[in-house]
């Protein structure tokens, strides 16, 4: 394997232009990604450890960590389930409107998140088109007590907004893997007497686990930094519905730029750690999948 890999890298590329394209890519990464990140860390480095700790351990900020992380977790669970089903329906079935549904999956990418949050807030207020079903006298809300289930300007609104913005990550990562799955394994399992559920759980699903984990991880990381959609529907109540990205904005409004940078560094560090763990999980799952085959 090592000999083949060495031979591959010593071969002359078929398509010329590596030096130019590599230089442009490095320049882009440095200018757009690495330079702002480095500037943030340099800004934070001017703070003493006591100042940094005070900024990131404020009681209101710590509560925003919990609200953000828990909301991202619940929204990731919802987005993974719904996204998997959507990808399955789009990939496996032909029906009128299939292309329309496939196109609507990308709507959260094209729609400004603040517009999405405002639209969701309007729809899910107690008197809204959808919110009336969750009110105390609504069909669904009556199961949650006299006041029903409050979505807009409450914690469920955060989960809803995060699910809306992160759903395409799951669909677009799982969908190509589903399309590439060959029918020979399913036909072989069916020939051996397996029913449809056994084929799904033992043949199809194991092949989709790496892509599903990747999509769920990307959705979770995306939800950690969500701002526009969340602030429009959460109500932004201190200690209840304030997310960490809002706390950064609050500190900026207070002209407390070092504290805003410190809080941003926590989110940045969490995202980098999650991305690193995602790479390890992908390698482990792909190795497990190859060994199983």
pLDDT at 293 over 90: no
- CA-nearest of 217, 273, 258, 223 to 243 is 223
Question: Which is higher by pLDDT, 145 or 263?
Answer: 263
Output the average pLDDT for the chain.
84
| Residue 193 dihedral angles phi and psi, to the nearest 5° | 100, 10
Helix H, strand E, coil C: the string for the chain is CHHHHHHHHHCCCCCCCHHHHHHHHHHHHHHHHHHHHHHHHHHHHCCCHHHHHHHHCCHHHHHHHHHHHHHHHHHHHHHHHHHHHHHHHHHHCCCCCHHHHHHHCCHHHHCCHHHHHHHHHHHHCCCCCCHHHHCCCCCCHHHHCCCCCCCCCCHHHHHHHHHHHHHHHHHHHHHHHHHHCCCHHHHHHHHCCCCHHHHHHHHHHHHHHHHHHHHHHHHHHHHHCCCHHHHHHHCCCCCCCCCHHHHHHHHHHCCCHHHHHHHHHHHHHHHHHHHHHHHHHHHHHHHHHHHHC
The pLDDT of residue 173 is above 90: yes
Model pLDDT, residue 15: 63
Is the per-residue pLDDT at 135 higher than 70?
Answer: yes
Band the pLDDT of 8: cuts 50, 70, 90. Answer: very low
Q: What percent of the chain has pLDDT over 70?
A: 90
pLDDT digits (tens, 9 = 90+) for 142-167: 888 888 899 999 999 999 999 999 99
Structure tokens belonging to residue 29:
């990464």
Low-confidence winner among 9-23, 217-231, 238-252 (lowest mean pLDDT):
9-23
Q: Is the pLDDT of residue 93 over 70?
A: yes
Looking at residue 22, its pLDDT comes to 76
Which domains, ranges and CATH numbers included, belong to the chain? 59-292 (1.10.3720.10)
């Amino acid at each position: 394997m090592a000999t083949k890999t060495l031979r591959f890298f010593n071969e002359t590329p078929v398509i010329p232009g590596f030096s130019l394209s590599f230089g442009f890519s490095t320049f882009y990464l440095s200018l757009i990604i690495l330079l702002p990140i480095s500037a943030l860390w340099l800004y934070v480095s001017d703070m003493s450890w006591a100042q940094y700790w005070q900024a990131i351990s404020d009681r209101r900020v710590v509560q925003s960590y919990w609200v953000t992380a828990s909301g991202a977790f619940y929204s990731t669970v919802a987005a993974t389930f719904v996204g998997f089903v959507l990808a399955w329906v789009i990939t496996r079935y032909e029906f009128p409107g299939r292309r329309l549904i496939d196109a609507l999956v990308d709507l959260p990418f094209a729609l400004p998140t603040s517009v999405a949050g405002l639209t969701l807030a309007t729809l899910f207020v107690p008197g809204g088109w959808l919110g009336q079903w969750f009110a105390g006298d609504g069909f669904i809300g009556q199961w949650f007590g006299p006041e029903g289930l409050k979505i807009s300007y409450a914690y469920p609104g955060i989960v809803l907004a995060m699910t809306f913005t992160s759903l395409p990550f799951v669909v677009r990562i799982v969908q190509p893997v589903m399309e590439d799955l060959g029918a020979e394994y399913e036909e072989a399992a069916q020939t051996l007497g397996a029913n449809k559920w056994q084929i799904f759980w033992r043949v199809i699903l194991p092949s989709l686990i790496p892509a599903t984990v990747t999509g769920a991880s990307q959705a979770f990381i995306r939800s950690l930094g969500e701002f526009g959609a969340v602030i429009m529907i959460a109500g932004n109540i201190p200690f209840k519905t304030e997310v960490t990205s809002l706390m950064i904005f609050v500190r900026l409004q207070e002209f407390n730029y070092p504290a805003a940078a410190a809080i941003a560094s926590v989110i940045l560090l969490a995202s980098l750690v999650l991305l690193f763990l995602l790479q390890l999980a992908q390698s482990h799952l792909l190795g497990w999948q190859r060994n199983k085959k």
